[in-house]
Amino acid sequence: MRLSSAIRAALIAVTALVGAGLSSAHADSGTVSLVIYKAGWFIGGSGGSGTLNFRGRSYALSTGGIDYGLVFGGSKTVLRGRVSNINRPSDVAGVYGAAGAGIAVGRGARAIVLTNQKGAVLELSGQQTGLMANADLSGLAITMR
């Protein structure tokens, strides 16, 4: 009896692993473009909008967030890139967290990789314009409009 429960437990574990592997294998990717405005003095905020292109359709996105640490100035960032590990458009929605430091005077390049609680991975790059100095923790929430 003890052997059969061990075999049963092993079969359940193998089934769960195979199911998890198949779920990831069916995950897809899309492209994202975002325009984010950021301003702050020690505590900052950001907001913006964008578009997700996924399986031939476009979906409107909204962004918002908060930064805390050393934040000074204001900027506009235009980012484009890829989102991976999503099964449906709503998987891109969620909260993304990051820690970072930098300075932008005028125009500069920006690149970032973020992951949300659903496992969606954003790989974005683009241009940041403005005067911004930061050494902070930040959160970015993306919602579907």
Q: Is 125 among the domain residues? A: yes
pLDDT at 19: 46
- The total number of structural domains in the chain stands at 1
Residue 142 to residue 140: CA distance in whole angstroms: 7
User: Over the stretch 68-82, which tens digit does the pLDDT of each residue have?
Assistant: 777 889 999 999 999
Q: Is 1 among the domain residues? A: no
Residue 143 to residue 50: CA distance in whole angstroms: 10
**Which pTM was predicted?**
0.75
Q: Is 13 among the domain residues? A: no
First vs last Cα of the chain: how many Å apart? Answer: 55
Q: Is 73 among the domain residues? A: yes
User: Over the stretch 54-110, which tens digit does the pLDDT of each residue have?
Assistant: 999 999 999 998 887 778 899 999 999 999 999 999 999 999 877 666 666 778 777
* Residue written as token pair 């061990």: 6
